[in-house]
Structure 1
């Protein structure tokens, strides 16, 4: 049994570099369109509000596969198995890179550790445990940990298991500089009366208006390139998506309390119930789908749960998703 460091299972691994004679890389376009039309009422004793929102999100990007077929599903639904599979895949990718860097042979652990530029593994452990740690560092850390706990012969045998025929899963990753587009539109209006004094007796009228219409900044577009990881089961064509990510629109908030107005910029959140529904639809899905639903909204649309009370509303959502083979030009 290969001894690996389980703490390295974090972000998506970097797309592998295919070896000579390996399968040709494959790219697939990914697109998500989500429309939301929702209303909600709130009451807490004499305090009250009503809210409505219309939101539209349209995203397209591309993911890349090395073209190989793997035996394990990198996004295995069983969490315990997924942790093992992803941890081993990290290790595998790190070992391949170390072997490429060392003229086609695996180095020993001390030699590999020096490849960190003179810093110690302990110094890099904090990076590996951080959400924004570069994937290459996490893979290198996993590989060095494996070198410390296994013989070179055992690791070569481990690498060879990935070349065994009969795999059924294709892995797809985002990549830097991918072509992508986004359109994020958000409108929301809240109005009501709320008490801001300690005894909650003096009601003050308020309104809150949110508005955004964005195609994403250069930074947001760059981040979108690497937000998605998918596996395709070639037996039935179904797709496993690691995170059904939809970015919040950056827009303007205008609040009026008893006639006094304030404005500020902020990220305008999607309803949490919609995000849960979206994750359920796309966690394991056909390569193309159109679905709609009416969802109950029990959490505040503005995200402010500190006011307590009863929230009652619904959202009509429509989803279109596609992750299909790219059409020939």
Structure 2
């Protein structure tokens, strides 16, 4: 069905975090796995803008783990196929199949001529009931993406023909997870004041964070990840990575006075993309290292303009643990 409504929901599905509803309840067939990620950053950065300058150093670490669950079923197609068009088609068909089951379970008649209107009305009501809670609204959005796909998309079940080899794992509300981040940053330099920016004054800026995450971080970590495990080639596919940022004390000293506040501490610009790229397709466990360029401000303040140069020695370690096998 190539209608404007179908195209609109395909756009939603492209960016949606897929979720299999019902996997939050363990069954005899369900399979639990733990994804653990450890990241370190050791960086130096210089900044220059005419008379203004700074030299900064940072040491950061991000350690987190989350539990994902599969219903135990093997599939013949990869939900996270590396080819974008193929992945979108497989996701859409997967959601359609799940949605058909959910439509009936939710009390909808899949054969109704007004099915799309019925589902849309229920989605609006459930979204309203979230009362602005971002995690709730995300879950509602993913749920009704599946239902809408079932309501408007044609049957493309031929995409799943073949020998089953892929396991799909999804996060679920209330999962077991851990978060710990450490963020140390120190910058010393001079900034210019006055209409002509010709009066130079020294300053010092420090970040100091040792953080175990917020309730929102933990809820987001539970539901964010989608992982596919290829049982034939023993490869892990991870769709994007959520790195919970640290939070801590920010201190700025200038003119002989120190101001302190509590704030979120930004992750270095290139780190997220580098982690995503390495976890997109890889072995179930491993580690990599790289030197990343630091061409954006480490303190997150791009309003100062100027030239930023530097590099960060970065490491990434991950593992994919069979929780059943880990039990004594």
Asked whether the two chains share a fold, i.e. TM above 0.5, the reply is yes
Select the structure that is richer in helix.
Answer: 2
The aligned counterpart of 2:211 is: 214
Deviations 1:12-65 (CA, angstroms, capped at 9, x unpaired): 2222548xxx99211111100111111111112221101011111110111111
The aligned counterpart of 2:243 is: 246
The aligned counterpart of 1:226 is: 223
- Aligned counterparts of 1:91 and 1:190: Cα–Cα separation in 2: 52
Change (3 A) 1:125 1:76: farther
Q: Match for 1:132 among 117, 133, 138? A: 138
The aligned counterpart of 1:26 is: 31
Q: Match for 1:78 among 77, 83, 91? A: 83
Change (3 A) 1:254 1:166: same
Q: Match for 2:51 among 19, 27, 46? A: 46
TM, length-normalised to structure 1: 0.84
The aligned counterpart of 1:108 is: 112
Matched position secondary structure for 1:272: coil
Aligned counterparts, 1:79-228, within 5 A: 79-101=84-106, 106-110=110-114, 113-114=117-118, 119=121, 132=138, 134=140, 135-146=142-153, 155=155, 158=156, 161=158, 164=161, 166-228=163-225
RMSD, aligned α-carbons: 3.0
Q: Match for 2:312 among 280, 299, 315? A: 315
Q: How much does 1:67 deviate?
A: 1.5
Q: How much does 1:271 deviate?
A: 0.6
Matched position secondary structure for 1:282: helix
Change (3 A) 1:186 1:122: closer
1:62 and 2:59 aligned: no
Q: Is the 8 A contact 2:115 2:151 kept in 1?
A: no
Where in structure 1 are there 5+ consecutive unaligned residues?
Answer: none
Change (3 A) 1:17 1:207: same
Matched position secondary structure for 2:90: helix
Deviations 1:119-151 (CA, angstroms, capped at 9, x unpaired): 278999999xx98361212212222223xxx6x
Q: Match for 1:306 among 299, 303, 306? A: 303
Q: Is the 8 A contact 1:70 1:162 kept in 2?
A: no
1:276 and 2:276 aligned: no
Where in structure 2 are there 5+ consecutive unaligned residues?
Answer: none
- Aligned counterparts of 1:136 and 1:48: Cα–Cα separation in 2: 50
Q: Is the 8 A contact 2:116 2:148 kept in 1?
A: no
TM, length-normalised to structure 2: 0.84
